[in-house]
């Protein structure tokens, strides 16, 4: 039987539900508009909340401050009878002048900058945006704070593609290029467990079974 110190700390990673920009596959970071969930997104949030309520044993709900995440997280917090906490470190990246564009449009209009961004995590997207290196630093800091505060508990983390992919990448010890090789659909659930030494184990990735 495990002692308290041996019980892993689990982060359930929930991507926000769909917005109008999500459906059109347009970049929607922290530097553009702050869209609300669409009707589909609200249904996805409720479906995810139902899944999490059925799972049980969630001790805290923490969200990015952006509206689409707060709305998704609020649905879960209501079902779980938990207070919603906001963490600025879980913000999506700022994509600068790329905000609102599709990847195809970025590739066409800013080919050199886009290639550099895919090649190097130090590259700044859209001229004034946030590098993936910067995203990694703040997400890792938020992760460490959560692991310290909720040792041995399960925390629902509601965030965006870049921060959630970063948490998965760091858990796997994978290189930065791995960020572009994983799918995290709207309202998908992933799960990472951390032992007392901080060693991570990816237990679930991009589960959308509750949306079918």
Q: Active-site residues: which are they?
A: 16, 92
Across-strand partners of 202?
192
Q: Which residues of 53-87 are buried (b: 16+ CB within 10 A; e: fewer)?
A: eeeeebebbbbbebebbbbbbbbbbebbebebeeb
Is the Cα dihedral 161, 167, 168, 169 positive or negative? positive
Is the Cα dihedral 152, 153, 154, 156 positive or negative? negative
For residue 24, what are its two tokens? 């059109």
Cα–Cα distance between 114 and 168 in angstroms, integer?
23
Cα–Cα distance between 36 and 21 in angstroms, integer?
10
Instruction: Detail the DSSP E strand segments found in 109-194.
Output: 154-159, 189-194
Torsion of CA 84, 94, 190, 206, to 10 degrees: 130
Cα angle, residue 172 at apex, residues 201 and 93 outer, rounded to 5°: 115
Tell me which residue has tokens 């970071």. 29
């Amino acid at each position: 039987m495990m002692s308290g110190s041996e019980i892993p700390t689990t982060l359930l990673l929930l991507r926000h539900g769909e917005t109008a920009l999500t459906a059109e596959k347009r970049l929607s970071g922290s530097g553009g508009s702050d869209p609300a969930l669409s009707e589909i997104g609200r249904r996805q949030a409720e479906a995810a909340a139902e899944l999490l309520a059925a799972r049980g044993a969630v001790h805290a709900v923490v969200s990015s401050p952006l509206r689409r995440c707060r709305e998704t997280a609020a649905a879960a917090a209501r079902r779980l009878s938990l207070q919603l906490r906001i963490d600025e470190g879980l913000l999506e990246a700022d994509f600068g002048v790329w905000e609102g564009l599709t990847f195809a449009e970025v590739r066409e209009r800013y080919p050199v900058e886009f290639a550099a961004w895919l090649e190097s995590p130090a590259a700044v997207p859209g001229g004034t945006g946030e590098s993936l290196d910067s995203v990694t630093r703040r997400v890792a800091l938020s992760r460490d704070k959560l692991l310290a505060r909720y040792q041995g508990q399960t925390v629902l983390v509601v965030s965006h593609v870049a921060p959630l992919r970063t948490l998965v990448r760091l858990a796997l010890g994978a290189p930065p290029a791995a960020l572009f090789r994983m799918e995290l659909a709207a309202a998908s659930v992933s799960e990472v467990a951390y032992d007392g030494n901080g060693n991570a184990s990816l237990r679930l990735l991009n589960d959308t079974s509750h949306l079918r």
